[in-house]
Amino acid sequence: MKKGILFLLLVLCFTSCKHTWDSEDIAAFKEACMDDAKKWASSPEVAKTYCDCVFEQVEKKYPRESDALEHINEISKDSSLYRCREEATKNVLAK
């Protein structure tokens, strides 16, 4: 998962020089996240729920895209991202 998060943020680094999260940044982040999540998620719905949660957590801590890029290592170790995976899986199983 650490490699996936690092990859997500590196993608953002090369796709945008802006400081805020615009629609292109968000789309690039979620696309890279979905590519990574497909490796473990039981369905596209689980992957989407996970990626939405991950982005929400990252954006909450780093409202500026440039701040997220500066904190790649901290993000990859963030326990809230693991909770996103647990919640995504649990929510789909509960349906």
State the CATH number of the domain containing residue 53. 1.20.120
Question: In this predicted model, what pLDDT tens digit does every residue of 18-66 receive, in sequence order?
Answer: 568 999 989 989 999 999 999 999 999 999 999 999 999 999 999 998 8
Helix (H, G, I), strand (E, B) or coil at 29: helix
Look at the chain and report how many structural domains it folds into: 1
Average pLDDT on 1-19 reads: 59
Task: State which residues form the domain around 87.
Answer: 2-94
Rounded alpha-carbon distances, angstroms, from residue 74 to 24, 36, 67: 23, 19, 11
pLDDT at 11: 61
